[in-house]
Amino acid sequence: MRRGEKGILLLTAALVLFFGARNVIHLEHHPVSQDPGIPFYSTASHEVARKATDIIREQGCRNCHTLWATQSMVQFVPSPPLDGIGSLRNEAWLYKYFSAKDPQQMLPSRMKPKYRMPSYADLPENDRRLLASYMASLKVKDWYLKKVREVEYEKLTGHPMVDAGMHPSR
Ligand code: HEC
């Protein structure tokens, strides 16, 4: 082995050791539990996600709804966020909802008529199926749902949820 090659080899080994050690230290100082990350995810295939995203853009769903924690800046409408909606509604319900001539019969509205969920009954059936499939794939992690429930509970009752006998061990 030539001197130059030996140097490169040594340097590589040193770098591997350095970054390896850094990662270990990094993990020790930031336990995963302290930064649980974004609670929303999708189980859809790349293909379904891409096609559905096109329809969502064409139909302007984000003029009213947040999705992936963002909403288009055209106006603010207090519609339910679509992140994690698949943990609340299943695909069959969503397909029926998008196909309904009068969606407010399935889900009553408290909004002024112009802010209400429009009917998408006139979209091609394939598009409605794609939307339902994609929406059903938008999930929220359990720890986040639990946290949301706890916050809601405390807001409504003024007591932390542990008082409510939710923890049988206490
Ligand atoms: C004009 C605003 C507006 C637009 C555009 C809109 N929505 Fe909605 N959507 C709402 C409102 C408001 C609700 C709550 C029910 C109501 O008030 O009619 C809702 C309800 C929903 C729900 C049910 C939420 C739940 O809690 O179960 C889903 C799913 C949904 N919309 C998906 C979509 C999709 C997908 C699109 C685009 C194809 C879309 N929305 C376009 C306003 C809108």
- CATH-assigned architecture of domain 40-157: Orthogonal Bundle (1.10)
Instruction: Say how many Å lie between the CA of residue 9 and the centre of ligand 1.
Output: 59
Per-residue pLDDT at 166 = 55
| CB of 96 sitting under 6 A from ligand 1 | no
- Residue 17 alpha carbon to ligand 1 centre in Å: 52
Pocket test for ligand 1, best of 64, 99, 112 (most atoms within 8 A of CB): 64
What per-residue confidence (pLDDT) applies to 27? Answer: 47
Ligand 1 lined by 63 (C-beta under 6 Å): yes
Provide the residue type at 156 as one letter. L
DSSP state letter for 139:
E
117 lines ligand 1 (CB under 6 A): yes
* This prediction's pTM: 0.75
pLDDT at 44: 96
Q: Does 60 sit in the ligand 1 pocket, CB within 6 Å?
A: yes
pLDDT at residue 25, rounded to an integer: 46
16 lines ligand 1 (CB under 6 A): no
Specify the pLDDT at position 86: 96
H or E segment to which residue 47 belongs: helix 46-59
Domain ranges (residues) in the chain: 1-32, 40-157
Q: Per-block average pLDDT, block size 10, for the chain (170 residues)? A: 68 58 49 66 96 96 87 73 94 98 95 93 98 96 87 89 58
* Residue whose C-alpha is closest to residue 41's, from 141, 129, 133, 145: 141
Whether 111 is in the pocket of ligand 1, judged by its Cβ within 6 Å, is yes
Spatial distance between the Cα atoms of 61 and 53, rounded to a whole number of angstroms: 10
So what's the pLDDT on residue 128? 98
